[in-house]
Structure 1
Amino acid sequence: MLLAMLPVSPDRQPGEHLQDVLERDFISVQTRNTPTTYYEGRQGPTGFEYELMRRFADHLGVSLALNDGHNSSEVLDAVRKQGDMGAAALPLDPSRDGLIFSRPIMPLQPLVVYRRGITPPESIADLVELEVGTLSGTGTDTVMRELQAEHPELSWKESNDMEIASLLSRVASGELDAAVVYQRQFRLNRLFFPEVEDGFTLGKPLSLAWAFPAGQGLGLVREANRFLADIQSSGLLQRLETRYFGRDNYLEYVGARTFIKHAKQRLPDYAELFREAARANGFDWKLLAAVGYQESHWDPKATSPTGVRGLMMLTLPTAGDLGVDNRLDPEQSIKGGARYLRSLEQRLPKSITGKDRLYMAMAAYNVGLGHLYDARDITKQRGGNPNVWVDVRRSLPLLQEKQWYEQTRHGYARGGEPVVYVRNIRRYYEVLTYVDRSQEQFHPINARLPEDAVPSSGSFDVIPPRS
């Protein structure tokens, strides 16, 4: 390990810094207010590194004090002068004076991204003719300087007063042709910038780490390393990475470009109706919006060949039962659809609980409650648990097979459809949750700004070619 090679500072004994933190009963952390690090969400503070910081403070048995008023180039200097530690998507760099870094937390792979429509860059040589940007103080700028030593004609722009979303906005708008960011940052933000494509990776991965002031002893650093090793071995670190940075493969289900386009252009007209219906029926409004998108792509005039109509695609009998006299009226359709989904959930057996109950109610919205019960019966016959969605979803497609549907009360059904239906709604809901919790930091989708709007804050310094 890196720290095993570091001598104890003569200024303080190994455990003194840790003892100071324990005695004062709080740990001071220098960080940045960004969607991938720390920000105020609707339920309070959140973010990938905030989760780690909070858990580390709990591990120490102290309170957490954050200073988030820094840009990327200021954090390390603040750690040297003020804080107990820094946690702000910092690359591990032992060459930094006055600092000690923790063990690696996760890899940071530099990546070239570019604006859709230009010739895709495939090598460093392709970047020479492009307007390229990056963020200073994040490690990607260091990577560019190392590359310039081998490719002196390379030039780029870098900024120390903007964050990843602003940088990607510059690419999407055409101010930049390409940017160098970290792969995980782009994985999260790509949902909100479908105009930006991933190109090629640059060099070997760096490592995200925490920074501590040198000369304070190694007690706090060692305790941080023990904590990080524990959450890695327990699987907690991987779960947090998945929660905050998502999975690339779900984009294939979502149709990200179309979805984001409709979220900008259509959803704002109906968002308040979804919120009202959600409050009245005890749902998350984003879930109802996701159901509406799966049903009609938020088209209030939608009509299917089977006669279901409107934004929530209600059948005529169901609309009558719900008191909906105009299925093409968005307000009636949304409120009716919410009441119908709630009624389906309430009619399910009490033995079905939690998310399983919600997913089965959504499946019933698509295929009907009777067919869902048939699939539960098949699940029992096959030795599965009829109260668990994972088991029931395996049985639903069997309603299309004669040897199975002949045994059921309600007969044949296109049982594969509700499986895809629930899966898609969950994916749409994921995307809307990212947008909602970002507090408009990722993309101007929530602010209803023009698609070509670019944040006004942030400036670049030009790094010229080497003469």
Structure 2
Amino acid sequence: MPVSSSRLPPSRLRLAALLLLGSVLCLFPFRHHSPSDGVLETVRERDFINIHTRNTPTTYYEGRHGPTGFEYELMRRFADHLGVSLSLDARHNADSVLSAVREEGDLGAAALPLDPTQQGLLFSRPILELQPVLVYRRGLRPVSEPESLAGLSIGTISGSGTDRVLRELQAEHPELGWRETSELEVAELLSRVEDGRLDAAVVYDHQFRINRIFFPGVERGFLLGKPLSMAWAFPARGGLGLQQEANRFLDGLQREGELDRLISRHFGHDDYLEYVGARVFIGHLSERLPTYTELFREAARNTGFDWKLLAALSYQESHWDPQATSPTGVRGLMMLTLPTAKELGVNDRLDPAESVNGGALYLRQLMDRLPGSIRGEDRLYMAMAAYNVGLGHLYDARKIAEELGDDPDRWADVREALPLLQQQEWHSKTRHGYARGGEPVIYVRNIRRYYEILTYVDRSQQQFLQLAEPGSDEAAAPPFFDIVAPIL
């Protein structure tokens, strides 16, 4: 006979009810959402993260192998960390990124300065130091201190944080004035400095290091103010979950050393810009390259290389001078030796078409003769080094790298071993003996740099060849800049 619940004591009745409720809920599993999770749970449930960014060389752009850029690499890794796909909106400037994050986005990643005063936003932990720097047009009197800025036409990007630094500086130097805009990016700002539409600009040091090779007419002046911190922005309406997960992700990258490696890879190369003759190279882009562009394209189609890589190699060899001849007897656009030319079927090394086709074919043969264990860009860089120093010396350097406990299939290790071929201690133990092993290291490095410039020119919306031409009529252009007047 069933027991009436009315006869149970109140405590037993409550326990029975809770047990019954628990057994029912077990039939209907559900996920617990913390009120602080907000956007994080939404991202996971919809299976993608919506990130607002900017199309710049330091943030996100289409590179040789697809999307790349320092912050893109971080975004992609963060999406993988969350187990979701990545959706980017790169139609932004610095100001509009923040507005979009407030209104609809999950995250903003666009070289944003950490600014706790921004309403409706949360920021991640610092990712990268942002050091403002004053740059100016080559030929002006040296600009080395704030007092040197009087009377100069200075530009900067509003909303990027550099404008904030200028306002702080203006409090100490009320005679300071400048122009600011959110409609331009760093490269466009630097182009205005180089062609005289501005005297100077305030950008971040890492941005200048990346862009300066494209603007050899712009000089580095002096550092302005204290460094700011680059961070990611999140909507405050979305709770703390996504911000906290991003901080855990970034902390992990820092501990593993991956964050430092990414910073070094994207912003660490700037020591040899003058050596590679950036100013001369930029000039030859419009003066010499157009004559031979189609030859490089044709040779690229026949050998599977990027035509810009062949053009970069040719510039390193001859500065695109078809009559170039070295004291050792190599000649032509691709500077082929006589034995190599005969082997390749090149009858006239001074004929541009024959030289370009022969050089491209020779590089392909070197690539094909390398061991199969060498892959990707390591294979290309070693083939380029062999073009300069010879395949035999490259093999010797690989053996030295192996003897040192390094990886002979990695260019980063082999390039450390190549200079040792100049030391008797090492070259006496090799098959091919002495070589000026430092030269192929510089050779490959320069070609990579020239290739970066050519790639930038090829894809850049601003088209450097057009920017280099005089006669730009700023009066007919939209009023990009807001004027910030001195406060005297």
TM-score bucket (shorter structure):
0.7 to 0.9
1:462 aligns with 2:483: yes
Listed as ranges, the matches of 1:336-347 within 5 Å are: 336-347=358-369
1:321 aligns with 2:343: yes
Task: Structure 2 unaligned segments of length 5 or more: list them.
Answer: 1-33
Task: Structure 1 unaligned segments of length 5 or more: list them.
Answer: 1-11
1:224 aligns with 2:246: yes
Alpha-carbon displacement from aligned partner over 1:338-373 (angstroms, at most 9, x marks no partner):
112222343455566655554444344334445556
CA change 1:316–1:226 in 2 (3 A) is same
Listed as ranges, the matches of 1:109-148 within 5 Å are: 109-148=131-170
1:269 aligns with 2:291: yes
Determine the structure 1 residue equivalent to 2:5: none
1:393 aligns with 2:393: no
Match of 1:172 among 188, 194, 202: 194
Listed as ranges, the matches of 1:235-274 within 5 Å are: 235-274=257-296
1:436 aligns with 2:455: yes
Match of 1:299 among 321, 327, 331: 321
More divergent stretch after superposition (355-364 vs 145-154) = 355-364
Alpha-carbon displacement from aligned partner over 1:205-226 (angstroms, at most 9, x marks no partner):
0000111122321111101111
More divergent stretch after superposition (241-250 vs 82-91) = 241-250
Q: For 2:426 and 2:267, locate their aligned partners in 1 and report how far apart those are by CA, in whole Å.
A: 41
Per-residue deviation at 1:14? 1.2
1:158 aligns with 2:180: yes
Normalising to structure 1: TM-score of the pair?
A: 0.86
Compute the RMSD of aligned alpha carbons. 2.9
> RCO greater where, 1 or 2, for CA within 8 Å and sep 6 or more?
1
Q: For 2:89 and 2:428, locate their aligned partners in 1 and report how far apart those are by CA, in whole Å.
A: 65
Listed as ranges, the matches of 1:14-93 within 5 Å are: 14-93=36-115
Indicate the SS of the match to 2:88. Answer: strand
Alpha-carbon displacement from aligned partner over 1:57-114 (angstroms, at most 9, x marks no partner):
2211222222222222222122111112211111001011111111101010010000
Normalising to structure 2: TM-score of the pair?
A: 0.83
AA in 1 matched with 2:264: T
Cα contact 2:52–2:105 (8 A) shared by 1: yes
Q: For 2:37 and 2:468, locate their aligned partners in 1 and report how far apart those are by CA, in whole Å.
A: 55
Match of 2:171 among 138, 141, 149: 149
CA change 1:239–1:275 in 2 (3 A) is farther
CA change 1:438–1:268 in 2 (3 A) is closer
Cα contact 1:264–1:448 (8 A) shared by 2: no
AA in 2 matched with 1:346: D
Determine the structure 1 residue equivalent to 2:21: none
More divergent stretch after superposition (355-364 vs 122-131) = 355-364
AA in 1 matched with 2:148: D
Indicate the SS of the match to 2:36. Answer: coil
Per-residue deviation at 1:423? 2.4
Listed as ranges, the matches of 1:191-210 within 5 Å are: 191-210=213-232
Determine the structure 2 residue equivalent to 1:5: none
Q: For 2:408 and 2:236, locate their aligned partners in 1 and report how far apart those are by CA, in whole Å.
A: 58
Match of 1:279 among 292, 296, 301: 301
Cα contact 2:341–2:347 (8 A) shared by 1: yes
Indicate the SS of the match to 1:251. Answer: coil
Q: For 1:427 and 1:292, locate their aligned partners in 2 and report how far apart those are by CA, in whole Å.
A: 11
Indicate the SS of the match to 2:203. Answer: strand
AA in 2 matched with 1:460: F
Q: For 1:301 and 1:110, locate their aligned partners in 2 and report how far apart those are by CA, in whole Å.
A: 45
Q: For 1:376 and 1:63, locate their aligned partners in 2 and report how far apart those are by CA, in whole Å.
A: 40
Per-residue deviation at 1:440? 4.1
Per-residue deviation at 1:42? 4.9
Cα contact 2:107–2:234 (8 A) shared by 1: yes
1:423 aligns with 2:442: yes
Alpha-carbon displacement from aligned partner over 1:179-231 (angstroms, at most 9, x marks no partner):
11110110100010000011000110000011112232111110111111111
Alpha-carbon displacement from aligned partner over 1:112-156 (angstroms, at most 9, x marks no partner):
000000011111121122111111111111111111122111111
The count of aligned residue pairs is: 449
CA change 1:409–1:242 in 2 (3 A) is closer
